[in-house]
A and B are shown apart, each in its own frame.
Chain A
Amino acid sequence: MADYEAVIGLEVHVELKTNTKIFCHSTTAFGGEPNTHVCPVCLGLPGVLPVLNKRVVEYAIRAGLALNCQIAGFSKFDRKNYYYPDLPKNYQISQYDLPLAEHGFIDIDIEGQTKRIGITRVHMEEDAGKLVHQGSISTTPYSLVDYNRTGVPLIEIVSEPDMRSPEEARAYLDKLKAIIQYTGVSDCKMEEGSLRCDANVSVRPRGRAEFGTRAEIKNMNSFRALQKAVAYEIERQIDVLEEGGRVVQETRTWEENKGITMSMRSKEEAHDYRYFPDPDLVPMIIDRDWVEEIRASLPELPGQRKERYVRELGLSPYDAEVLTTTKETADYFEECLKSYPNAKIIGNWVMGELSRLLNAGNIEISLCNITPGQLADMLKLMDKGTISGKIAKTVFEEMFDSGKDPEQIVKEKGLMQISDEGAIASEVDRVLADNPKVVEDYRAGKEKALGFLVGQVMKATRGKANPDLVNKLLRDKM
């Protein structure tokens, strides 16, 4: 089999967290009864006209700057014409040839290396409504339309085809999400649809300069789905080429349940969006002072935060990267650091046990039962010798489940570490007496035998004995 290389570009839609829609004064609040967050303008009634929400432009500039883009001096809106029942005017107001921001980049870390992914453009547009149907779109006898989301402001962020693996695509999306969240212009919640991602995927024999024919993959509803879908699509295209076939330029949908991408080709549609400048809206001349004002108001971004963690907290670049991947994680970490000034230890717990439990439960850190203060309290209990590191994991799990304070759990379950020499000594004596053969092995020079004996003492004390003390006593007595 020939050696292939994948070429991946992502188109990411992010909903902006404004109060009102992009071209009218209807609320952008998520949820609500169907067709209640609408007015004549976003319903596209005959005769209505759009008026641009200034905050949308401000937020889009903010995102553009955070993504290292150049902000256009002159920009305008165009109409993208296509028919779909969730699109009230049967055109979407978007930006075509003069987007608000262009020529940006973000740096991702991949296998310890920094890789720069180009951002082609960031433009503003309006969201469509929602179609609801029973079962699958292809078998349902009818669909229901809710226009509450129609006209919610979006930015579309288009990357260069700079990614070469599903892992890079994932890393890009993680980083992009973090940056946008840091700017505060969007929640970037994939499950609420405030962040959506389509992928353009092609493959080519390694070393060839031209791109292969690409497929556009849609309907990926999680970060993991993106990674899986891209991986699947790469394999599929390689298989097609290996069998002597040709990749077709088309849109494919990711079928999460089946774990495959499927062609979405419709029976009869020639795509021709017939973009033209929207005559109902006037051009934007973006004032440089405004741009600089927005630039000055940007918060610390993930890259800067990572550098600060390395520089000021002495974390490794890897740890700093992981901790700053999402704003929530970094905020959690820093909150904890306020009460417990050991970045390395906190980092290990956040990246280790906490992350494991969050992943297992598919829970977001912002909804986690353990507050940063409680984690700090638990770490202090360890330092004081009240609990051992082993017991701490048990306590932590209990905290995660119940949200109780660590002291309370330790007290309720009697998990206090036993550091009383007398109490441990009697257990040691008993273990030595019960295992004469092992004691002999130790005395004959088998160091490993000690481990077994320590384990027996710990078992007898249900893990509460101070392990250092157990070691010391065993050695002394033998």
Chain B
Amino acid sequence: MLTISEVEHVALLGRLELTGEEKKLYQEQLSAILEYAKKLDDLDTGDVLPTAHVLPLKNVFRQDEAGSHLESERVLANAPERDGNFFKVPKIV
């Protein structure tokens, strides 16, 4: 069972602000799912290599050639807040 403080820690890492209710809900649900995931421990995977990619691709490169840029109006068109050509954000600390 996850503790509430573990839930809070994970929420902070994922930049989520949870209500007290959500914390309890996720505590229960995540615990149940993780408990179920423990099923994986039934399997001895000592000699098994992990699969991060199913396709055996390697060395996919592009050449160092410049392409077109996005015009700055299109760069900033979706910005929630801007200042000239900059994206604007509230204070950092």
Contacts and interface: CB of A to CB of B under 8 A. Distances in A.
A118 B1 CA distance: 45
A444 B60 CA distance: 90
Contacts of B66: 19-20, 25-27
Nearest to A145: B87
Given A26-B66, A54-B61, A274-B13, A34 B85 contact: yes
A38 interface: yes
B49 interface: no
Interface in A21-73: 24-27, 33-40, 43, 51-57
Interface string B26-60: 00000000000000000000000000110101111
Contacts of B72: 33-36
A149 to B, nearest CB: 13
Contacts of B21: none
B84 interface: yes
Contacts of A35: 72, 75-76, 85-87
A11 to B, nearest CB: 22
Nearest to B64: A55
A142 B88 contact: yes
A34 B64 contact: no
A143 B55 CA distance: 43
Contact of A279 (B52, B58, B88): B52
Nearest to A36: B72
Nearest to B57: A282
A131 B91 CA distance: 11
Interface stretch (A155-163, A265-273, A352-360, A366-374): A265-273
Contacts of A140: 91
11 contacts: A25-B65, A33-B72, A35-B75, A35-B85, A35-B87, A36-B85, A39-B69, A54-B61, A281-B60, A282-B60, A283-B58
Closest 8 CB pairs of A and B: A25-B67, A144-B86, A54-B61, A55-B64, A34-B85, A145-B87, A282-B57, A277-B52
Given A20-B67, A25-B66, 13 more contacts: A19-B65, A24-B67, A25-B65, A25-B67, A25-B68, A51-B60, A56-B64, A140-B91, A144-B86, A270-B12, A277-B52, A282-B60, A284-B58
